[in-house]
Amino acid sequence: MKPYFLEDFGNPSSLHEPGDVASRALEKARRDVARFINAGEAKEIIFTSGATESNNLALIGYAMRNRKKGRHVIISEIEHISIHNIAKYLQKQGFEISKVPVDYTGKVRLEKLQERLREDTILISIQHANNEIGTIQPIREISNMAQEHGIAFHVDAVAAEGLVPIDVQAGGIDLLTLSSNDIYGPRGAGALYIKQGVRVNPIIIGGGQERGLRSGTEDIASIVGFGKAARVIMERMPEEPSRLEKLRDYLIDNILSHIPKAYLNGHPTDRLPNNAHFRFDWIEGESILVNLKTLGVAVSTGSACSSKTLQASHTLISLGLLHEEAHGSLEVTLGRWTTREEIDAFLEILPGVISRLRSLSPLTKMEELKE
């Protein structure tokens, strides 16, 4: 990225040589991202400022362009909050939103999706994998259902990219959201795959960059970083997911076997290789997070502290958990530099934290802990 900050800072829309240098870098990155998801053509990749903008362009852009065909859009109950908020916006514009429930593992209930299909349904938006509990969705089955009824299919692949193979052609996907920073690229860059022939309206109007679908001078440095990150992650795909999966299973097995009244949220096997999401009876995830933070451990929780609201995670509630159960959750994600030694250190720390917090909680049922 460095040369595009200090030396090659031409505008890719300009016709002079510095503009040509920037334009060549832009198109190389476009080809790299296209290869990453096996897009048919590089021009099917539209660069954006990130996943949220890509989701906006996908849902609002497609809905507005195709509203004469219908005004019904389907999402799942556990989509990322950006999708839920976009759906609320579409409702204000006269669209009807249906939400598909999931089972207790976080899998979309296909029979309920089938029940929600209507003649005026124009778009289905389902995430590839859940960003919180890691459950991987049956994308091909959903795609088959959408294609059978002539409905466009959008996939938010941000949580899954770089961790599971993504093939938009084999998956029958019409629109797909990507984020740079979720594959160790720079923040502030994202992309939307738009299959050839799929029509969307732009949501940012201006000089006509990115095929007129995302106006504004492209951030070449960040886009170059995005392309490089895509190349690196493709090189690591054969071995990295299996390495993470072994570490994940080791972590899960130890926590469930050594901490009483601990449970795994999400699907036991169809989950992202880097995701372990737990809940613990009688204590809150925020308390666990704060205690671990003082000990140098960085984790997250799907309850109030992480979302800056007083509500439990909508994902966990959709699994059928009670509010008090959802508030006792802890998300642990592993990454490229996570080691077995770090997990062992975490496993040394966590039981004591859980035990201490339970001893302070008036909700703790000591007799059940002894069983």
Q: What is the DSSP string of 211-240?
A: GGTS-S---HHHHHHHHHHHHHHHHHTTTH
| C-alpha gyration radius of the chain | 22
Q: Which two tokens stand for residue 68?
A: 């004469």
**Claim to verify: residue 261 and residue 160 sit in the same structural domain:** no
How many CB atoms are closer than 10 A to CB 242? 10
Give the distance from CA 343 to its chain's centroid.
Answer: 24
**121 and 179 inside one domain:** yes
Cβ 155 vs Cβ 127: under 8 Å:
yes
Cα–Cα distance between 155 and 19 in angstroms, integer?
33
Q: What is the pLDDT of residue 365?
A: 83
CATH assignment at residue 284: 3.90.1150.10
Q: Are residues 73 and 101 in the same domain?
A: yes
Nearest Cα to Cα of residue 75 among 177, 169, 3? 177
Look at residue 281 in the predicted model and tell me its pLDDT. 94
State how many domains the chain has. 2
Question: Do 202 and 245 belong to one domain?
Answer: no
Domain that holds residue 174: 3-236
Active-site annotation, residues: 305
The verdict on 209 and 273 lying in the same domain is: no
Length of the chain: 371
Q: Specify whether 220 is located in the same domain as 257.
A: no
Q: What is the pLDDT of residue 308?
A: 57
* Ranges in the chain, pLDDT < 50: 303-306
Asked if 86 and 60 count as a contact pair (C-beta separation under 8 A), the reply is yes
Q: What number of CA atoms fall less than 13 Å from residue 230's CA on the CB side?
A: 25
How far is it, in rounded angstroms, from Cα 80 to Cα 280? 23
